[in-house]
Amino acid sequence: MAPKTQTTALFLCLLICISTTSSTYGRKTQPRRPCKELVFYFHDILYLGYNPHNATAAIVASPKWGNKTAMAKPFNFGDLVVFDDPITLDNNLHSPPVGRAQGMYLYDQWSIYGAWLGFSFLFNSTDHVGTLNFAGADPLINKTRDISVIGGTGDFFMARGVATVSTDAFEGDVYFRLRVDIRLYECW
């Protein structure tokens, strides 16, 4: 190795060192390149008094002016819904579920439709074993909404990322289907 090459390599190395070191201080400079990408659909059938046998979700809290078998007016504000929804790989409600989406959504906008989501995906299949945990705002007026992947366990140990949620279908208050594009940026 010629001294000049060596010196060049040394400078290159120093440069990498410095940029790497600085990236571990507060501000990260990672490119926004996902380490894992997943797409799922989940299906929500709300209990509205007449459908106990196929409902997957139920209103459990509502404002003073609401009740548990109809969405509150206006804009469902104040309705808290608990759900246990099947997750599928495609947009067919009758496809074999690959997991369950479980948790809550909470309508929290007075002047448009919007919700706050806190839920988990639970997987126990040949493809995935583990959970992904989500939290974030779901302003339904937007075609796509980004929420946070705040953690994971099992195959998704310590995962963080962003999930892009879009309403793939809805039928009145009783049924909706969400498509969730998950991009993990921290994988372990």
Candidate residues 40, 43, 46, 62; the one interacting with a copy of itself per rule CB under 8 A: 62
Please report, as residue ranges, which positions from 109 to 148 form the binding site for a copy of itself (by CB under 8 A): 109-111, 114, 116, 118-120, 122, 130-131, 133, 135-137, 139, 146-148
Please report, as residue ranges, which positions from 67 to 106 form the binding site for a copy of itself (by CB under 8 A): 68-69, 77-80, 82-84, 100, 102-104, 106
Q: Are 40 and 90 in contact (CB under 8 A)?
A: no
Stretch of residues binding a copy of itself (CB under 8 A), selected from 23-31, 38-46, 87-95, 168-176: 23-31
- Return d(Cα 158, Cα 186) in angstroms, integer: 8
Q: Which is nearer to a copy of itself, 40 or 47 (CB)?
A: 47
Q: Is 130 left (phi over 0), alpha (psi -120 to 50) or beta?
A: left
> What DSSP assignment string belongs to 130-153?
EEEEEEEEEETTSSEEEEEEEEEE
In angstroms, what is the minimal distance from the CB of 185 to a copy of itself?
6
DSSP-derived 3-state class of residue 37: strand
